[in-house]
A and B are shown apart, each in its own frame.
Chain A
């Protein structure tokens, strides 16, 4: 069993409010996990902690063999760009860069840009004809595909997706879901935050949050 991610007693407090309250969770490589729960259940805070965008108040979080809970901002930045690929609900592309450049941006902060590699990554998403378009010239689904290509480009240990189809129509939702299925087949580890039950069904395992705690989780599957 190859654990890519281990959490124990992970807690995040904002003043008197405890948003995430002692979560224990392990995720093995190649797993597709959906984190679900109603608004205010601590999904976003947990996502921030998973993405190393925020530091826990208490508890331990080991990502791909690195204990991140004691790192400072700078070190977390390094972990983020080495091990995590982020997919956003709002896509978040840099408006003044083309699709290809947006993908290259991740390479740039990671190590070194490679135009061809970025083009290939976009081609895999079916975007080879859209390389030189800026976000404002792309549809929502296309923007999300650029965002996914950007998340994958550095071969991250985990892919974190925050409501990836939340801003998409059905047709585009299907395209994006197909991409995620593909990624899963390729053996990528995917963690997806959503409150869409259909999305949840696609995942191997669903973790339900309620008031910052894990309410119900499917058992950790045995590695196939």
Chain B
């Protein structure tokens, strides 16, 4: 018993010595294999990280289309809501999901040269809600700014107004009569082009509707988030309120995200396959180079098993080192890609680590199968034929 264990110990030590020496002395070859596996693992890691983040990132990008959720009063016509309801709606939505939101209060006001629709909004929210607004001049920046307004492109043209001009707003019913400065001119191609925008508090004063709004528009990150359920919950919890996702935006968003994910998945699979192939050919070339050595080992009485073991463990060691390095490089690569494309970091996901490890190891082993089979087919008699 003791003799066997001594034998095993001694032979294990020899095995490790062979392994170590083979890795240590054949530096340039090992380095090449290490590098090719490192690159493979890095690409896998980066692509997986990117793939898992792509929905979130693109979902944020798709918010460029503006509001995708509507909250208004349940009755038809021109009813209004308490401004407080708006605050309670916002409380229902996780802060990380809410890209932007603004309440709206509409009314008709008289300007110097005629009537126009006046809208009271929350400019800070609106700016995030509607990034597509083409603004000449500046946005109204301060929430309680009651001196400035923004006007639609068509309205500005009709009333011959430029950025910086003064504009008088009247409302007979409330007796409001005050000059506002045009801070920016808005172009959207839709109804906004004919409207004048002021802060909600000012609009409530002008229109004589303190504490009230018509409706609110929200921009919500809808990935993995059931906006229909949110709508149902809001309708249930806040009587007199109707809420619905805007189909124009939310329907398309799902479709587009699916396409992008599909595209990424296909691209990732193809790159993976190609990388595996590259690693494989490198390993094959390395075995071919060692034909004589393998033949020698066989002539010394090495069994196929021990040759397979040596090669697999050698490949395994190089692969593990390569994969570890590859993950590091891959993480940096993912950050680089993330910064280049989305201007944001790609989050580190622990799930990507085992996934990369599995994929890369399987790929490396798959890649090693062919060279190992080649190694086994090498006839030991090759040694005797002097080259």
Least CB distance, B309 to chain A, in whole angstroms: 12
The interface residues of chain A lying within 8 Å CB-to-CB of B387 are 90
Contact with A along B100-142 (1 / 0, CB 8 A): 0000000000000000000000000000000000000000000
- Known A53-B384, A101-B18, A134-B25; judge A86-B300 contact (CB<8 A): yes
- B interface residue numbers (CB < 8 A to A): 6-7, 10-11, 13-15, 17-18, 21-22, 24-26, 292-293, 296-304, 306, 379-381, 383-387
Contact assessment for A80 and B301 in the assembled complex, using a CB-CB cutoff below 8 Å: yes
CA distance A94 to B383 in the complex (A): 12
Contact assessment for B300 and A109 in the assembled complex, using a CB-CB cutoff below 8 Å: yes
Q: Which residue of A lies closest to B8 (CB)?
A: A112
| Chain B interface mostly | helix
The interface residues of chain B lying within 8 Å CB-to-CB of A217 are none
Which residue of A97, A98, A112 is within 8 Å of B6 (Cβ)? A112
- Known A48-B384, A101-B18; judge A109-B25 contact (CB<8 A): no
CA distance A26 to B226 in the complex (A): 89
Q: List 5 A-B contacts (CB under 8 A).
A: A53-B380, A86-B299, A92-B299, A106-B300, A163-B386
Contact assessment for B22 and A96 in the assembled complex, using a CB-CB cutoff below 8 Å: yes
How many residue pairs between the two chains, A and B, have CB atoms under 8 Å in the bound complex? 97
CA distance A210 to B17 in the complex (A): 45
By the criterion of a CB under 8 Å from any partner CB, how many residues of chain A are at the interface? 39
Contact assessment for B381 and A48 in the assembled complex, using a CB-CB cutoff below 8 Å: yes
The interface residues of chain A lying within 8 Å CB-to-CB of B10 are 112-114
Contact assessment for B11 and A112 in the assembled complex, using a CB-CB cutoff below 8 Å: yes
A sample of 4 more A-B contacts (CB under 8 A), given A48-B384, A105-B300, A107-B14, is A54-B381, A113-B10, A113-B11, A162-B384
A77 close to chain B: CB less than 8 A: yes
The interface residues of chain A lying within 8 Å CB-to-CB of B385 are 44
- Known A44-B385, A80-B301; judge A109-B13 contact (CB<8 A): no
The interface residues of chain A lying within 8 Å CB-to-CB of B26 are 95-96
The interface residues of chain B lying within 8 Å CB-to-CB of A74 are 303-304
CA distance A28 to B63 in the complex (A): 92
The interface residues of chain B lying within 8 Å CB-to-CB of A53 are 299, 379-381, 383-384
A66 close to chain B: CB less than 8 A: no
CB-contacts of A87-123 with B (<8 A): 88-90, 92, 94-98, 101, 104-114
